[in-house]
Structure 1
Amino acid sequence: MRALTEIDKINIDRQKMENIIQNNKNAIHYCVLYEFLQKKPIGQSYKTFCNTVGKGVVDFKDFKNLFDRFARGKFAIVGQTHAPEIEIQGSGSVRSLPTLPEEILVKIVEKSGLKERLTLRKVSRCFRSIVDESKLICEKIDIRFTDLSTEICIESLPMINYQQKNGGCVIDFGGNRMIMNGERHIECALRDLNTILKNPKFELRVLKTTFLLGIPFLFNGYIPTEWTPIYRFMELEDFFQRFKRRLHVKSFDIQFEIHWNDDTEPILSILPYLKPGILEKIRIKMDVDFSDQMKEVVKLEQWKQAIELDMRKTHFELSLENLTHFKRFSVFIPKITEEQVISIKETLFKSTNFESCTLNYYEDELDLDYIQSKVGPHIEDNNTGALLFKDQETKTVFEIQLGDESIDIVRKC
């Protein structure tokens, strides 16, 4: 009798595993769940299941019924409230399916999108642990704060709305409603957001935050501290501080509209807790004067290491030297001078990093003829009216377009 080869041993082990699965309804449940998470057509999923587990183990009707249950968010085994740990006998030991083998479960999680991972967290404690520790790349999180509500949009998932009503918070997600008595909407929203952000391997492309805050409501003739905007930003800062690490975010977008006179610092409640060097783009849109806050913002490493800035509709009243490290930037300068334009042109032309910028200002704020006479030797493009400059040493060509409300400077080649 010939000795068993490694291939023979693998085939025998595979047959044993197939037999175990075929005779264990819980194991079958998880195999079908795995196929569901692959997002393939049900016919294709059923074919893969039969080729892997065995033909005739589950007929198509039962397979479809499980698919339909999963689509409705019901993941527990029929007749049970929660998905159990599945015990399988093998090689004289007892192990649970979610840990047999763990590398397979890790691959399931890694191939699953955000929605599927949030679903898998509900399946078992083992899956929850794997999901919370696996690398996750998310395209966008959009958070909108108002006086009486918070809204969170994560990628293409349905919006989650947290509404303050009748002394509690009403949470609405994809038509499902939950009431949290005695809780505030921002508390509930940040608690749910923590489920994703606490993952140490979480990476986010875009974090967008919008604040639309009015005058806080009076309760029995006074305004509770927890309803003022400044308290809101203190809560946010405390939330981001809790992670004990800076978040991996590539683009940060903040829009701010407030009708309440207090020392709010919306940017400083979030920006310092994003990872410098990873953060590439900053977009700020404000309808209030926040010059004092910006004096602190420009000192941050997050600002100094970013490569793109969009403040085209927001006043920037600090020294333009705080902008010249960006590759691309667009700002609104309400008190711009001809000397500033000439000076920044000289600085940007010497930069090896600079690509383009737009300086926006009030109409007819500048004497464009004066600027044109002082910017140095150039030729004028007959078609566009742009001024073209060529560095004789580097042969680099720059273009300046002078306009009534903006000046564009671009490195051409």
Structure 2
Amino acid sequence: MSSEILKENHHYLKACILYEVLQKKPIFDSYQNFCDTVGKDAMEYPDFEFWFYRFYDGNRDFDYDRSADPEPKTLMDMPVKLMYKIVGNLDPVERNVLRSVNRAVRDVAVSLSPVFEKMEIEFHENNFLAWKLDNDPKLYGKYKELKKFILPGFQVNHLRLITIGEVNLPDRPPVSLSPKSVDITAGYIHQMITLLSITKPGELESIRLESDFSMRMMDANGLKIFPRIFKTEQFKQAKHVDIDRFVTNYKLFLLNCRHLHSFKLRIFAHVPDKQFRVLRHIS
């Protein structure tokens, strides 16, 4: 007998459900096994659940007429306040799953934008990423997993971005975030510029740029392209900047920092006293 004919035989389907009940397995495992046996389109989960618990309670009447039963409640019958309370306690991953239920539930999930104090993203080789929120455990995946994780309206106050090893970053930022401050540690200056583009200008107030101490960015080409950072909208609209050790043209740096409320420049090379007097005059 073909599987399509069996799907139309309601007694056969209920016999399969009764079999699952007798196996004394959790209902979700039972439903998965039921679908593997007769097909995923044979019966919707709510119907399976009804017959499963009816058989579980000892009612074995396969011909029970459900037409007289009250219409079963659905997720959308839940009070709106209760739904908002539930969604408010979900993390971004769980909210992302909830968005796939239906449009109404998705709207609730999106409307309650999660706000976090800090987020850290590590960029590894082969487009591999690791990220964490606040003090939560790290999550791992590719760029597409990170994009799914960042829900519309996602907010974080402090963002830390780190490159690990020889990383080839995409030309376009994988995500767009609106932190108040960003802390970037990278091996090359062009990586810093790419990572800085993840943040939204205007929203970003503080920028901290730090080398990974490998000295890779200290080569002539790296130092040559560093002034490109001054041309980014993120830098132009920032209020506070902290830069670690790879600025060599101090005059150019100060000329581009006049709009800032404050800046910190850590110098690891000897600077003549005469140079300091020139810098003081510029500032």
Length-normalised TM-score, structure 2: 0.61
Alpha carbons of structure 1 residues 77 and 121: separation in structure 2 relative to 1, 3 Å: farther
- List alignment gaps of at least 5 residues for structure 1: 1-73, 87-91, 162-187, 215-228, 241-245, 259-263, 349-413
Match of 2:182 in 1: 252
- List alignment gaps of at least 5 residues for structure 2: 1-25, 33-43, 50-69
Displacement of 1:279: 0.7
Displacement of 1:251: 1.4
- Find the partner of 1:137 among 115, 120, 124: 115
Match of 1:345 in 2: 280
Task: Encode CA deviations 1:159-197: one digit per residue, 9 max, x unaligned.
Answer: 224xxxxxxxxxxxxxxxxxxxxxxxxxx4222211232
Alpha carbons of structure 1 residues 93 and 306: separation in structure 2 relative to 1, 3 Å: farther
Output the CA distance in 2 between the equivalents of 1:150 and 1:273: 15
Match of 1:234 in 2: 170
Match of 1:382 in 2: none
Displacement of 1:311: 1.5
Task: Encode CA deviations 1:290-333: one digit per residue, 9 max, x unaligned.
Answer: 33332221012211221222213433535121223322322134
Match of 2:263 in 1: 329
Displacement of 1:282: 1.0
Task: Encode CA deviations 1:356-409: one digit per residue, 9 max, x unaligned.
Answer: xxxxxxxxxxxxxxxxxxxxxxxxxxxxxxxxxxxxxxxxxxxxxxxxxxxxxx
Match of 1:125 in 2: 101
SS at match of 1:298: helix
1:280-295 to structure 2, matched below 5 A, reads 280-286=205-211, 287=215, 288-289=217-218, 290-295=222-227
Displacement of 1:128: 4.7
1:58-207 to structure 2, matched below 5 A, reads 80=31, 96-98=74-76, 100-110=78-88, 112=89, 114=91, 117-122=92-97, 125-126=101-102, 127-147=105-125, 149-161=128-140, 188-199=141-152, 201-207=153-159
Task: Encode CA deviations 1:328-355: one digit per residue, 9 max, x unaligned.
Answer: 322134474545433443565xxxxxxx
Displacement of 1:79: 5.1
Displacement of 1:248: 1.1
Output the CA distance in 1 between the equivalents of 2:235 and 2:271: 22
More helix by share: 2
Alpha carbons of structure 1 residues 101 and 321: separation in structure 2 relative to 1, 3 Å: same
Alpha carbons of structure 1 residues 143 and 203: separation in structure 2 relative to 1, 3 Å: same
Alpha carbons of structure 1 residues 189 and 299: separation in structure 2 relative to 1, 3 Å: same
More strand by share: 1
Output the CA distance in 1 between the equivalents of 2:199 and 2:173: 14
Output the CA distance in 2 between the equivalents of 1:197 and 1:255: 21
SS at match of 1:315: coil
Q: What amino acid does structure 2 have at the position aligned with 1:301?
A: E
Q: CA RMSD in A?
A: 3.7
Q: What amino acid does structure 1 have at the position aligned with 2:112?
A: S
| C-alpha contact 2:180 2:206 (8 A) present in aligned 1 | yes
- Find the partner of 1:302 among 234, 258, 261: 234
Displacement of 1:137: 0.7
Q: What amino acid does structure 1 have at the position aligned with 2:194?
A: S
Which of structures 1 and 2 has the larger relative contact order (alpha carbons within 8 angstroms, sep 6+)? Answer: 2
**Identical columns (%):** 20
